Amino acid sequence: MPDATGLELTAHELRDHNAESILGTDFGRGRAVLLAAPDHVTDVLRQLKASGYTFLASLHGIDYYPEEPRLGVLYELLNMHEVDRITVKVRVHTGDPRLRTATELFPGAEFPEREVYDMFGVVFEGHPDLRRILMPEDFEGFPQRRDFPIGGEPVLFTYNEENSYGKYQ
């Protein structure tokens, strides 16, 4: 993890390259976070990849309900030579959450992006195969969002099979 100054320097370098790419930084408790603008996230990732953060350790979604913009996507990057971690965070609104895919830079982002789409409904443009991955194909809604009720899915019995969704005919 870079120190607080190192994080600011990284943010400056990224801003030099693209003035609108970085919205802010957050540093503390062993974590360096760059808050990136949704439109420029691939730019930021490309720059960081070129500067040594070549390994995408994790990509996951998060719902900041009730804060706005509600949805967040986190890219945990790792520099294997310096053993250094940095996090890129993007916040998007629930209305039409769209981000550019990171699969062109990190092919391993394919499954994690599908999972974020599946669980939070964030659409990754340019993703080679954006389908649900863990939930069934015919599932409606995005279960990891905070306003999705737990136990909200009816159990299929004989008496309610007529009204159940995804019923095979």
The residues binding other proteins (CB under 8 A) are 28-31, 33, 54-58, 60-63, 74, 76, 80, 83, 85, 87, 106-112, 115, 119, 131-138, 140, 143-144, 146, 148, 150, 154, 163-169
Nearest approach in angstroms of CB 37 to other proteins is 19
CA dihedral 142, 21, 75, 113 (to 10 degrees): 40
Partners of 86 in the β-ladder: 77
Q: What angle do CA 20, 47, 60 make, to 5 degrees?
A: 85
Pick 39 or 108: Cβ nearer other proteins: 108
Pick 16 or 134: Cβ nearer other proteins: 134
Nearest approach in angstroms of CB 147 to other proteins is 12
Q: What angle do CA 160, 161, 162 make, to 5 degrees?
A: 90
Pick 5 or 163: Cβ nearer other proteins: 163
Tokens of 82: 């310096």
Pick 85 or 100: Cβ nearer other proteins: 85
* Torsion angles phi and psi, residue 113, rounded to 5: -70, -40
Nearest approach in angstroms of CB 17 to other proteins is 23
Pick 27 or 39: Cβ nearer other proteins: 27
Contact in structure between 92 and 98 (CB atoms under 8 Å) = yes
Nearest approach in angstroms of CB 19 to other proteins is 27
Partners of 139 in the β-ladder: none
